[in-house]
């Protein structure tokens, strides 16, 4: 008799599970079905744990949360809203120490979240002050604005690399972070469930929309590509690739229900 198969869903948030107004309302039928079936859903985002906790609470999830691009895994404790945090990348304190030492010694011109107040970040990003506070609550990454030459940026990135720190370009900011990525976070979440139920053959389903999600999708058994309005932006090489029929939460809902129909 073979092992029992169970699904584990891991999802990106922005432009995947959340629409452009940050709503997941169109995914509500699939969320209800996941809950009724007892199928775990893990949130895996570049957002901070503080930013993701409210969403996890709204979704009534007790699953781990992967935050800051795989930089940390947060596991729910007995008490609601209380998490045990495992840093999977490099602690932010070490990233700040290395980056700020280089700035002080060599005069590199950059500013980051650690340099700004909640109010200053809110003014720079259009976030509310409480949102800015949650976004600044980082444990494994540091977003910065680079205000120096490209030649100096390359030298700065090389110096950081000697500390195991990467410098990756995001939409608005450069992100200083360790080597962990969303695929590492997804693997940590899968191991959490494998350790809890070792007799289960877990089928990992990952959902994402952008290049930042590609590694996570390629590490899954089933990769679900959520398209943008102009079509899909990624072509992951996974054992099985499913293309959602619509962008954001509407497409997420349709794809998840289709997979649940197949397996459950």
pLDDT digit string, tens, across residues 92-117: 999 999 999 999 999 999 999 999 99
Domain 4-88+181-263 has CATH 3.40.50.1000: yes
**Which candidate in 12, 118, 181, 209 is catalytic?**
12
12 is catalytic: yes
pLDDT in tens, 206-255: 999 998 899 999 999 999 999 999 999 999 999 999 999 999 999 999 99
pLDDT at 1: 44
pLDDT at 2 over 70: no
pLDDT at 169: 84
**pLDDT confidence tier of residue 7, bands split at 50, 70 and 90:** very high
Instruction: Give the position of tokens 């009724």.
Output: 36
Say how far apart CA 118 and CA 146 lie, in whole Å. Answer: 19
Q: Where are the domains of the chain?
A: 4-88+181-263, 92-177
pLDDT in tens, 149-181: 999 999 999 999 999 999 988 778 999 999 999
Least confident of 65-79, 93-107, 134-148: 65-79
pLDDT at 146: 98
Whether 242 contacts 217, CB under 8 Å: no
Global pTM value: 0.90
Whether 78 contacts 62, CB under 8 Å: no
Whether 111 contacts 136, CB under 8 Å: no
CATH number of 92-177: 3.30.980.20, 3.40.50.11540, 3.40.50.300, 3.40.50.10470? 3.30.980.20
């Amino acid at each position: 008799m073979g092992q029992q198969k169970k699904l584990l869903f891991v999802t990106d948030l922005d432009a995947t599970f959340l629409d452009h107004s940050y709503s997941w309302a169109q995914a509500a039928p699939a969320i209800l079905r996941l809950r009724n079936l007892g199928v775990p859903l893990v949130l895996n985002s570049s957002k901070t744990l503080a930013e993701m906790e409210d969403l996890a609470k709204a979704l009534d999830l007790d699953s781990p949360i992967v935050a800051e691009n795989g930089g940390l895994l947060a596991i729910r404790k007995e008490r609601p809203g209380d998490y045990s945090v495992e840093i999977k990348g490099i602690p932010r304190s070490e990233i700040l120490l290395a980056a700020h030492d280089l700035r002080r010694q060599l005069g590199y011109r950059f500013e980051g979240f650690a340099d700004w107040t909640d109010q200053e970040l809110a003014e720079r990003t259009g976030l509310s002050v409480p949102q800015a506070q949650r976004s600044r609550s980082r444990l494994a990454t540091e977003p910065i604005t680079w205000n120096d030459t490209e030649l100096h940026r390359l030298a700065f990135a090389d110096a950081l690399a000697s500390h195991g720190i990467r410098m990756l370009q995001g939409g608005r900011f450069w992100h200083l972070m360790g080597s962990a990525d969303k695929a590492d976070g997804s693997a940590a979440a899968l191991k959490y469930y494998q350790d809890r139920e070792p007799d289960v053959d877990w089928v990992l389903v990952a959902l994402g929309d952008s290049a930042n999600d590609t590694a996570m999708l390629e590490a899954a058994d089933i990769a679900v590509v959520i398209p943008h309005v102009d079509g899909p932006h990624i072509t992951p090489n996974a054992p099985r690739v499913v293309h959602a029929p619509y962008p954001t939460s509407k497409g997420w809902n349709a794809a998840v229900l289709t997979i649940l129909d197949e397996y459950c």
